[in-house]
Amino acid sequence: MSRVRTAAERLLEEAVTTLAQADVPSPEVDAELLLSHVMGLPRAMLRSRAKPQEPQRRAYLELVEARARRVPLQHLTGSAAFRYVDLEVGPGVFVPRPETELLAGWAVEQAQAREAPVVVDLCTGSGAIALSIVHEAPAARVHAVELDESALAWAERNLLGTGVDLRQGDAFEAFADLDGTVDVVVCNPPYIPLEAWESVAPEARDHDPALALWSGDDGLDAMRRLEETAWRLLRPGGVVGAEHADAQGGSAPAVFTRRWRDVVDHDDLAGRPRFVTATRP
């Protein structure tokens, strides 16, 4: 005799079907995370303890329909987990990706290996990398910059009270007052070629700020400017790390080979080229 499904289980099944039909990449996970958000319960307890009332059911189905329209999950829940911190995110800011956690981890390790290091996070967006560094390497003096006003507002929320020197401006012209004094420069720049518009997931293409996505015909316009900026900011022996697209595992490091040493490209957890690091001689 089959067990009678709970109201929460029926809701989840309906949501998974809706999201799968909309080609959402992880329909089961997203359905559970949205119900967890509405009910205020951990995912593991939804099927056994969630007893959604009609107002909660309606709210949940509205969120599911929005996710089916490919509104980012993090915009619907209002938060994004990143390494050991949670960030407030929403419309107007680039949602931090799990792949970027590896670049942030590299920056944290570089900061931890130095005494009172000066770290600069260019194109900070939500402040994810800067917040991770102050959280995991509290001795670091962290500076961050963001050009877009909407994204800056999110960074201000996330970095409030952390001591991070957050500024608004062009990342590649900022921090002239720090020239030659920085130990670590880290950046998740825009790196998508303009011609790749059709191949970009709707969550990013339609909802992330254009300023955070596109970077010229080959996707490396920002990387070339970053190379110049990092050279200006870093002291001798300082290091730079920057994320790039998986198709740029050869072209992104090539930006640094002319005058930097120890140019290394790093894979993400899926084995795809993901970020480049280099040392200023």
- Which residues fall in the annotated binding site for substrate? 188-191
CA angle in degrees (0–180, nearest 5) for 106-267-224: 75
Strands (E), the chain: 79-82, 85-88, 118-122, 141-146, 165-168, 182-187, 234-243, 261-267, 273-279
The SS3 call for residue 103 is: helix
Q: Which residues are annotated as a binding site for S-adenosyl-L-methionine?
A: 146, 188
Q: Which residue has the tokens 């012209």?
A: 173
Query: Could you count the other beta carbons within 10 Å of the beta carbon of residue 13?
Result: 13
Q: Which residues are annotated as a binding site?
A: 146, 188-191
The SS3 call for residue 111 is: helix
Angle, helices 128-136/100-112, rounded to nearest 10 degrees: 40
